[in-house]
Amino acid sequence: MKLNPGKMVTAPIRFAIGMISQTALNVATAFVQIWANKGRSILTTLGIIIAVSSTITVVAFVGGFGKLMTDMVQGYGTQFMVVRPYQWSSSQRGGMKRVRLDITDIEAVRTECPSIRRITPFVFTHNGEISLGNEIAEDVPVRGVTEHYQTIRNFHADVGRFFGPVDVDAAAQVMVLGRSVTKRLGADESIVGEHVYLDGNRFLVIGLLEKKGGNMGEDQDLTVMIPYTAAIKAYPNLRESIPFLAEASSPEATHQAAGEITRVLRTRHGLQPGQRDDFRIDRQDQAVKRFESVRNIASGILAGIVSISLIVGGIGIMNVMLVSVTERTREIGLRKSIGGRRRDIMLQFLTEAVVLCIIGGTIGVALGYSMTFIASLHPQMIEIEVPLWAVAAALVSSAGAGVVFGIIPAFKASILHPIEALRHE
Partner 1 sequence: MIASSTKPGDALIELVDLEKIYRVGTELVHALRGVSVSIRENEYVAIMGPSGSGKSTMMNILGCLDVPTAGKYMLRGRDVSTLSQSRLARIRGRQIGFVFQTFELLPRTTALKNVELPLMYAQVSRKKQRAMTALQRVGLEDRATHRPNQLSGGQKQRVAIARALAQTPDIILADEPTGNLDSKTGEEIMAIFDSLHSEGQTIIIVTHEEEIAARCRRVIRLHDGRIATDNIVSRPKPATQYATVTAQ
Give 190 or 337: the residue with its C-beta nearer to partner 1.
337
Of 167, 278, 331, 352, the one binding partner 1 by CB under 8 A = 331
Query: What is the SS3 assignment for 67?
Result: helix
Give 13 or 96: the residue with its C-beta nearer to partner 1.
13
Give 139 or 327: the residue with its C-beta nearer to partner 1.
327
Using CB under 8 A as the binding rule, the residues of this chain from 239 to 298 that contact partner 1 are: none
Query: What is the SS3 assignment for 125?
Result: strand
Type and span of the H or E element at 106:
helix 103-112
Smallest distance from partner 1 to CB 302, Å: 41
In 270-357 the beta strands, taken as DSSP E runs, fall at 279-283
Of 94, 343, 389, 396, the one binding partner 1 by CB under 8 A = 343
Q: How far is CA 259 from the centre of its chain?
A: 29
User: Quick check: 278 and 100 in contact, CB under 8 A?
Assistant: yes
96 binds partner 1 (CB under 8 A): no
Give 387 or 418: the residue with its C-beta nearer to partner 1.
418
Q: How far apart are CA 25 and CA 2, in angstroms?
A: 28
Smallest distance from partner 1 to CB 425, Å: 11
Integer Rg of the chain from CA = 35
Only one of the segments 15-23, 78-86, 108-116, 370-378 lies at the binding site for partner 1 (rule: CB under 8 A); that segment is 15-23
Give 7 or 276: the residue with its C-beta nearer to partner 1.
7
Smallest distance from partner 1 to CB 327, Å: 11
Smallest distance from partner 1 to CB 293, Å: 53
15 binds partner 1 (CB under 8 A): yes
Count of residues engaged in binding partner 1, rule: CB under 8 A? 31
Using CB under 8 A as the binding rule, the residues of this chain from 132 to 191 that contact partner 1 are: none
Only one of the segments 39-47, 150-158, 220-228, 333-341 lies at the binding site for partner 1 (rule: CB under 8 A); that segment is 333-341
In angstroms, the Cα distances linking 299 to 62, 100, 296, 381 are 8, 42, 5, 21
In 133-243 the beta strands, taken as DSSP E runs, fall at 135-145, 157-160, 174-177, 195-198, 201-209, 214-215, 218-219, 224-227
12 binds partner 1 (CB under 8 A): no
Give 17 or 315: the residue with its C-beta nearer to partner 1.
17
352 binds partner 1 (CB under 8 A): no
Q: How far apart are CA 183 and CA 130, in angstroms?
A: 12
Of 89, 339, 377, 378, the one binding partner 1 by CB under 8 A = 339
114 binds partner 1 (CB under 8 A): no
Query: What is the SS3 assignment for 119?
Result: strand
User: Quick check: 287 and 375 in contact, CB under 8 A?
Assistant: no
In angstroms, the Cα distances linking 135 to 179, 182, 234, 306 are 15, 10, 21, 56
Length of the chain: 425
Of 336, 346, 352, 358, the one binding partner 1 by CB under 8 A = 336
Of 300, 330, 381, 392, the one binding partner 1 by CB under 8 A = 330
335 binds partner 1 (CB under 8 A): yes
Smallest distance from partner 1 to CB 32, Å: 5
**What would the DSSP string read from start to end of 360-414?**
HHHHHHHHHHHHHHHHHTSTTPPP----HHHHHHHHHHHHHHHHHHHHHHHHHHH
337 binds partner 1 (CB under 8 A): yes
Query: What is the SS3 assignment for 284?
Result: helix
User: Quick check: 321 and 353 in contact, CB under 8 A?
Assistant: yes
Contacts to partner 1 by CB under 8 A: 1-3, 14-15, 17-19, 21-22, 25, 29, 32, 36, 330-331, 333-344, 418-419, 422
